[in-house]
Structure 1
Amino acid sequence: MAYVVTDGCIRCKYMDCVSVCPVDCFYAGENMLVINPDECIDCGVCEPECPAEAILPDTDPRAAEWVALNADYAAKWPNIAEKGEAPADADEWKGKEGKLALLDPAPATH
């Protein structure tokens, strides 16, 4: 079992979750984070830290479509072990649904 990041993170990318992860299993794209399911130890400390409520256990039915996406992008994006700056307009995107079409597949450059 592991946790996954859902579309709630897209364009928000607060990164509070990164600072509490004991195994550094977060990977960064330009406008979203993902969790490497092979590295996640299912401790759950990241879930309550996410201001966008974008992290779910992979056993949650709402997480089903995100398991493969997290695994795929974790293999392509750089690992992130420290909290960075959230986008300036993150609060404007918080809570908006259906953001998958806004996912930037590029790896983070900052």
Structure 2
Amino acid sequence: MAYVITSPCIQEKAAECADVCPVDCIAEGEDQFYIDPDICIDCGACEAVCPVDAIFHEEEVPGGEEKYIQKAIQFYKND
């Protein structure tokens, strides 16, 4: 499992999450940041510093935000 960045990040891109990630698994996309699900170690550091509360554990992504799980997977497949 991994953490997922959801819609509040769209166009926000504050970057605190990328700064604190100990395994450098967060990359900036065109409209938001993404967490690489293959590298994420589930430490939760990113979730704690997100100023817009956009980061959730994959199993706790709010209803209606599930598409961001697939969006992150696609981002890293195309990278």
Query: TM exceeds 0.5?
Result: yes
Between structures 1 and 2, the one with greater helix share: 2
- Name the structure 1 match of 2:39: 39
Q: Which residue of 2 aligns with 1:71?
A: 73
AA aligned to 2:6 is: T
TM superposition shift of 1:27: 1.6
State the Cα distance separating 1:30 from its structure 2 match. 2.1
TM-score normalised by length of structure 2: 0.87
- Equivalent residue runs for 1:1-110 within 5 Å: 1-62=1-62, 64-77=66-79
Structure 1 unmatched runs, 5+: 78-110
Deviation sequence 1:66-103 (CA, Å, 0-9, x none): 211111112334xxxxxxxxxxxxxxxxxxxxxxxxxx
CA RMSD of aligned residues (A): 1.4
How many Å apart are 1:21 and its aligned residue?
A: 0.3
- Structure 2: 5+ residue stretches without partners: none
- Give, in angstroms, the shift of residue 52 of structure 1: 1.0
Q: Based on CA coordinates, which of the two structures has the bigger radius of gyration? A: 1
Whether contact under 8 Å (2:9, 2:33) holds in the other structure is yes
- Structure 1 residues 8 and 43, CA gap change in structure 2 (3 angstroms): same
Number of matched pairs: 77
TM-score by length of 1: 0.64
